[in-house]
Amino acid sequence: MLKIYNTPPSTNWDELCTRPMLEAEDCTNTVTTILKDVQQNGDAALLKYTELYDKVTLSTLQVEKSEIDESETKIDSPLKAAIDLAFDNIYSFHINQLEQEKSITTTKGVNCWRKSVGIENVGLYIPGGTAPLFSTLLMLGIPAKIAGCANISVCTPLNKNGPINSAILYAAKKIGIQTIYTIGGAQAIAALTYGTPTIKKVNKIFGPGNQYVTRAKQLVSLQHVAIDMPAGPSEVLIYADDTAYPSFIAADLLSQAEHGIDSQVILVATNQKIIDAVNDELSVQIKQLSRAEIAMASLANSKAIIFEDVNVAFNFINYYATEHLIIATDNATELCTKVINAGSIFLGHYSPESVGDYASGTNHTLPTNGYAKMYSGVSVDSFIKKITVQQLTKQGLLNIAPTVESMATAEGLQAHKEAVSIRVKQLQQNDF
């Protein structure tokens, strides 16, 4: 089922690394209209678009606190236990990303440090649709809370058949989030950006979404708010040698392929035998899946590539810069040192991508579409600003004064020099 490429020359790599992109209609005009309308008409526009797109008539935009509190009693106990363990793992991985930085004396009397502060107001977008993505709420809410963000708002659309999913409410309760708005789409991004009488304006917006949400985030990020990262369809690349289990690889490829018809799965293998075995397993396993049709469509875009030379293989892997990289070999730890571009790496035969999607502790909000070359996934850092601070003693200022005066003069910025000179003069006169 995977199309096979044997040792493609690097001149073909650009083509092999092109991601399948759905021919999306250009939604810029629609999104621009929605953004303006919400900016001008606030809550009324939100109610209107929710009725139009989600087919839901809202009597209120916000979930009651009591609904969040009661979620604990409405959720199955195995699922509750699962969310509890996932919470603990994600929490303990992310809490270690907080650092206490020390003050550095760069020159005697010149002390510099960084002060970390959580971004005051953040918005988390959790898509609606077929699946209630409570895992995404954990992945965004936990680091936001650890970072110390003062106000965390969640937007998630209701689906027309009923109340908000209790797993989402329970995840919010665990994290300590009290503000959940039942809106989605570009109108939710607009509300978080501009604020409305009900919805508080935020400084940064996080989370995945459909093409309208993605385009809205992109447009507002040019002027008003920050966003987590550019979004694209999910993807996995698996590297396998003869030590790999073809049945595991097929299962991992399918777990990515079931996401959507634009997902991409790539297998890089050391020989064709492995690929043949994986293809055989794919045909068997796909039949048992509820989302087989989606998986089938996305496998149609997918590729199996043979590289006998491990260094060439990892050159290609770095060139592709995949969101998820599974290294399915006995020597995965050693091969990991060759990776410079990836969102998240899964080492060995017992680290499938789905453990990272839910519960190993790492974040599942990761760069796609080759952005792993320059972006990291979401972490506590994404919710923090680091403000630099400097404090000079009188002697410290005297120590670096000639340096600053000389550089400012060479750059033609006399007033920059004078701000130092006037202090030096005062210190020299007063014999401090």
**Exposed/middle/buried for residue 227 (C-beta within 10 Å: 0-12, 13-18, 19+):** buried
Nearest CB to its own copies, comparing residues 4 and 292: 292
Q: Total number of residues binding its own copies (CB under 8 A)?
A: 128
Nearest distance, CB of residue 28 and its own copies, angstroms:
11
Site for its own copies in 327-386 (CB under 8 A): 332-333, 336, 339-363, 371-377, 379, 381, 384-386
Over the window 285 to 324, marking each residue x when it contacts its own copies by CB under 8 A and - when it does not, the resulting string is x--xxxx---x-----------------------------
Q: Rounded to 5, what percent of the chain is helix, strand, coil?
A: 50, 15, 35
Q: Is 23 a catalytic residue?
A: no
**Rama region for 109: left / alpha / beta (φ>0; ψ in -120 to 50; rest):** left
Nearest CB to its own copies, comparing residues 27 and 110: 110
Distances (CA, A) of 405 to 190, 271, 401, 417: 48, 64, 6, 5
Matching residue, tokens 């049945």: 247
Which two tokens mark 270? 């050391």
CA distance 71 to 84: 14
- Rg of the chain over all Cα atoms, to the nearest angstrom: 26
CA distance 191 to 203: 12
- Which range of residues in 61-69, 186-194, 267-275, 408-416 is near its own copies by CB under 8 A? 408-416
Site for its own copies in 196-225 (CB under 8 A): 203-204, 218, 222, 225
Nearest distance, CB of residue 6 and its own copies, angstroms:
27
Nearest distance, CB of residue 5 and its own copies, angstroms:
24
Nearest distance, CB of residue 12 and its own copies, angstroms:
18
Site for its own copies in 72-101 (CB under 8 A): 78-79, 81-83, 85-86, 88-90, 92-93, 96-97, 99, 101
Q: Is 99 a catalytic residue?
A: no
Among the residues of 324-389, which ranges form H helices? 332-336, 353-358
- Which range of residues in 7-15, 56-64, 128-136, 308-316 is near its own copies by CB under 8 A? 128-136
Give the catalytic positions in this structure: 323-324
